[in-house]
């Protein structure tokens, strides 16, 4: 026994030594990998900008500064400087560390006889390790000067720590297994022990080694992933979004704030029914939430919502999958009338859409809007699990919430997305509380719109109504130490759409929809799918059908336009009137062209479940989206996603954000009735080969620019912003400490 103990001690000692050597070797290797990697990235970045740098170098130092700023958009580049050959600084970026002055860096390169073309130096700042890449500019390299890039390598330390944890865990498991094996060996005869070992390795006993194998594999997987992911492009999927979240947010919980909930529980005669609301916002965000879990804070609006929550007003969704939480907030009738119907939908909605509806602003609605924003902001702060959470604030219902959340959680990363257009300055000026709205939104770290035009309009509004610095190069608003980045993130849909799993093949959809509508098998079908809203141009759409039939008698009796119209905001008189007008227009056109059973317009005035909506998309010859003004419009993208047969024609209003993405659609001006009628006729006559060509190209676009990319891009930008803010904090505190030490 003493001999076996000696053996055991010897083995453990050897393993400990192995652990130390392994750790050192691994640290060295990973550090070299990462240094090589960041250096390569800097060469690529400067290579790409070389031409502009050389053009700007002698005559346009401001241009050089802008180019340097573009180069430092790379998340690992901390700062950049342009140095003249004699060591003078031509330009630097904001966060460029002062300790690496051009004079010092160039002197050091000369001392070390580093190449003028490219030289690197690995060194330390008090905030952590950094790598300097120095690249010559001009022909021959260095004749104009040199660009110095400073890379933050502190992430290597963080990863080292993770790697070390894995290694220690692996060695610990190895030590345990080895001790066990040693004791067994001491206990049993050599032969028997050998037999046991053979058994262990040959199969039956392999289980004992599994933890070790699993840990080592996990370590290798993670290293391989972290190393390979940097350079990877490719398509965005739920898995990639999850990876991005895990990588950039390090497991932090995502909290979404939106007025509409993704699942509504409603009482019916047959019990509780789950409804999927007709809302572009929900369509876009629900798949994101399924991919990343977290909490969705929303107004509980269903008649059975209270019956389905737990003691904290939470319910797990989606039903059957239960991957994230919905936290429901209850609103009184007065609150709902003031905040939702009043200020949001009679004030802000018509303010932001150019659709000839006069915004109504009432002081009592505004008071409710403020109070309800505060209630939701408080609920968000209760749901977070750290002092620097990621919060996604959605839409015009919550313009004040970003500032309110920021007040309670100054370190939070708040991404606000405005799902509707942002109008021009003159229009924003109509709102009596425009300054408060703008200030509220500036609580965000990043403020996203669908298009660059909406971003420009927002920045102009800030310029007109608030005292703040606008960094036009970076599209940012600076107030004190804080900045809000204003960025376009065109929203999209999931790809592939999971509802399609519940929808039959195209032929079957064509057959069943025509049977449902009582139409002959060869009927030509157009489809429109909308919330019944005056911005969607439904009357103009019907007018185009009217003009089509007036000009094409061969289509009378054959062409039918089916409109799925979900009732929306029915408490508001404007929507009530719209409802009546739309029905009236449909009646008039049907009276004009209808014969017997034939009615050219079929108005299905109801909310339909997504699987039904997709069945209609697949059954139709064409889909017409005629919005008078629309932030994006997801119906257009859904139609494209539904047509995996490559057929079908999309007619799309030029006033939608989607018209910028889906350029192969037939783009129309919905106010120009004759043009829209001609486009309908062209769609019905379009050869299949042309349909396929257009549809294929649009499908590629929607597949690539899907909602996972939308969310992923925002989260990556937010993570980068966080990193920069933290680095700036570190540098400030370090400089502060230095100033104290050496006043």
* Direct distance between the N- and C-terminal alpha carbons of the chain, in angstroms, rounded to an integer: 66
User: SS3 sequence, 282-314?
Assistant: HHHHHHHHHHHCCEEEEECCCCCCHHHCCCCCE
From CA 539, how far away is CA 355, in angstroms rounded? 12
For ligand ADQ, which is the closer residue by CB, 262 or 280? 280
Question: At its nearest, how many Å lie between ligand ADQ and the CB of residue 689?
Answer: 29
* In the complex, least distance from residue 417 CB atom to ligand ADQ, rounded to whole angstroms: 7
CB 436 within 8 A of CB 400: yes
Q: Give pairs for 123-130: CB < 8 Å, separation 24+.
A: 125/97, 125/99, 125/734, 126/734, 127/154, 127/727, 127/730, 127/731, 127/734, 128/152, 128/153, 128/154, 128/157, 129/153, 129/154, 129/156, 129/157, 130/78, 130/97
CB of 582 to ligand ADQ, least distance (A): 13
Of residues 373 and 563, the one with the C-beta less far from ligand ADQ: 563
Residue pointed to by tokens 């990462």: 34
Question: Which residues make beta-bridge pairs with 289?
Answer: none
Q: How far is residue 159's CA from residue 151's CA, in Å, rounded to a whole number?
A: 16
Task: Write the DSSP symbol of residue 342.
Answer: I
Tell the smallest beta-carbon distance from residue 122 to ligand ADQ (Å): 46
Contact residues for ligand ADQ, defined by CB under 6 A: 278-281, 283-284, 419-420, 491, 529-531, 564-566, 607-608, 613, 630-635, 638
**Backbone angles phi and psi of 508, in degrees to 5:** -65, -40
Return the number of the residue (90 or 632) whose C-beta is nearest ligand ADQ.
632
Asked if residues 552 and 600 have their Cβ atoms less than 8 Å apart, the reply is: no
**CB nearer to ligand ADQ: pick between 434 and 615:** 615
CA distance 418 to 453: 13
Tell the smallest beta-carbon distance from residue 705 to ligand ADQ (Å): 13
* Phi and psi, residue 399, nearest 5°: -65, -25
To ligand ADQ, the closest distance from the beta carbon of 561 in angstroms equals: 14
User: Phi/psi at 365 (nearest 5 deg)?
Assistant: -65, -40
Residue 630 Cβ vs ligand ADQ, minimum distance, rounded to whole Å: 4
Contact 302, 265 (CB under 8 A): yes
- Looking at beta carbons, which residue is closest to ligand ADQ? 280
Minimal distance in Å, beta carbon 612 to ligand ADQ? 8
C-alpha 570, offset from chain centre: 31
Nearer to ligand ADQ, 559 or 614 (CB): 614
Residue 569: which of 542, 541, 536, 544 has the closest Cα?
536
Of 603 and 721, CB closest to ligand ADQ: 603
Q: Write down the least CB distance from residue 249 to ligand ADQ, Å.
A: 23
Instruction: CB nearer to ligand ADQ: give 79 or 280.
Output: 280
Closest to ligand ADQ by CB, 461 or 633? 633
In angstroms, the CA 462 to CA 477 distance is: 8
* Closest CB to ligand ADQ among residues 15, 354: 354
* Residue among 441 and 634 whose Cβ is closer to ligand ADQ: 634
CB of 738 to ligand ADQ, least distance (A): 48
């Amino acid at each position: 026994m003493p001999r076996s103990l000696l053996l055991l001690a010897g083995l453990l000692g050897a393993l400990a030594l192995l652990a130390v050597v392994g750790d050192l070797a691994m640290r060295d290797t990973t550090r070299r990998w990462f240094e090589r990697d960041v250096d390569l990235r800097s060469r690529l970045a400067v290579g790409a900008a070389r031409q502009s740098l050389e053009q700007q170098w002698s005559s346009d130092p401001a241009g050089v500064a802008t180019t340097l700023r573009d180069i430092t958009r790379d998340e690992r580049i901390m700062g950049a400087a342009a140095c003249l050959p004699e060591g003078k600084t031509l330009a630097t970026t904001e966060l460029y560390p002062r300790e690496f002055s051009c004079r010092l860096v160039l002197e050091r390169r000369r001392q070390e006889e580093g190449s003028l073309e490219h030289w690197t130096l690995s060194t330390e700042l008090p905030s952590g390790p950094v790598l300097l890449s120095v690249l010559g500019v001009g022909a021959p390299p260095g004749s104009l000067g040199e660009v110095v890039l400073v890379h933050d390598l502190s992430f290597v330390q963080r990863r080292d720590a993770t790697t070390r944890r894995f290694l220690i865990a692996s060695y610990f498991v190895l030590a345990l297994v080895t001790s066990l094996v040693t004791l067994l060996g001491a206990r049993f005869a050599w032969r028997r022990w050998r037999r046991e070992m053979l058994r262990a390795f040959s199969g039956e006993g392999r289980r004992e080694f599994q933890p070790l194998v699993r840990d080592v594999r996990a370590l290798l997987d993670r290293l391989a992933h972290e190393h390979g992911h940097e350079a990877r492009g490719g398509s965005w999927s739920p898995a990639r979004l999850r990876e991005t979240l895990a990588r950039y947010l390090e497991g932090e919980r995502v909290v979404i704030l939106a007025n509409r909930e993704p699942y509504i529980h409603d009482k019916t005669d047959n019990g509780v029914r789950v409804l999927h609301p007709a809302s572009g916002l929900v369509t876009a965000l629900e798949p994101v939430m399924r991919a990343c879990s977290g909490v969705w804070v929303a107004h509980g609006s269903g008649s059975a919502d209270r019956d389905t929550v737990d003691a904290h007003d939470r319910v797990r969704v989606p039903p059957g999958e239960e991957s994230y939480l919905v936290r429901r907030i209850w609103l009184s009738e007065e609150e709902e009338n003031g905040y939702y119907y009043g200020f949001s939908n009679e004030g802000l909605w018509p303010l932001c859409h150019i659709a000839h509806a006069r915004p109504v602003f009432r002081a009592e609605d505004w008071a409710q809007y403020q109070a309800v924003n505060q209630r939701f902001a408080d609920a968000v702060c209760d749901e977070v699990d750290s002092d620097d959470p990621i919060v996604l604030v959605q839409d015009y219902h919550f313009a004040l919430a970003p500032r309110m959340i920021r007040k309670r959680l100054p370190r939070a990363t708040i991404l606000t997305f405005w799902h509707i257009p942002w109008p021009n300055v003159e229009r924003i000026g109509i709102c009596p509380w425009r300054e408060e709205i703008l200030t509220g939104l500036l609580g965000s770290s990043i403020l996203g719109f669908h298009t660059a035009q909406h971003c420009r309009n927002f920045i102009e509004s800030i310029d007109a109504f608030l005292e703040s610095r606008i960094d036009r190069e970076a599209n940012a608003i600076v107030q004190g130490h804080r900045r809000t980045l204003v960025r376009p993130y065109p929203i999209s849909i999931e790809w592939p759409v999971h509802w399609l799993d519940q929808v039959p093949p195209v032929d079957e959809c064509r057959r069943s929809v025509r049977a449902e509508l009582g139409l002959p098998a060869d009927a030509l079908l157009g489809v429109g799918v909308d919330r019944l809203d005056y911005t969607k141009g439904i009357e103009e759409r019907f007018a185009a059908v009217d003009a089509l039939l007036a000009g094409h008698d061969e289509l009378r009796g054959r062409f039918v336009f089916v409109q799925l119209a979900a009732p929306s905001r029915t408490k508001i008189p404007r929507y009530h009137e719209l409802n009546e007008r739309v029905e009236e227009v449909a009646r008039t056109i049907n009276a004009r062209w209808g014969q017997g059973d034939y009615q050219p317009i079929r108005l299905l005035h109801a909310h339909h479940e997504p699987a039904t909506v997709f069945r209609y998309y697949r059954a139709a010859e064409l889909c017409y989206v005629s919005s008078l003004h629309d932030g994006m419009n997801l119906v257009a993208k859904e139609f494209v996603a539904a047509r995996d047969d490559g057929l079908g024609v999309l007619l799309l209003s030029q006033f939608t954000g989607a018209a910028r993405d889906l350029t192969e659609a037939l783009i129309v001006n919905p106010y120009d009735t004759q043009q829209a009628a001609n486009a309908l006729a062209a769609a019905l006559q379009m050869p299949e080969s042309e349909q396929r060509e257009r549809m294929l190209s649009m499908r590629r676009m929607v597949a690539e620019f899907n909602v996972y990319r939308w969310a992923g891009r925002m989260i990556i930008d937010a993570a980068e912003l966080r990193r920069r803010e933290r680095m700036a904090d570190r540098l400030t505190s370090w400089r502060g400490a230095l100033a104290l030490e050496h006043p």
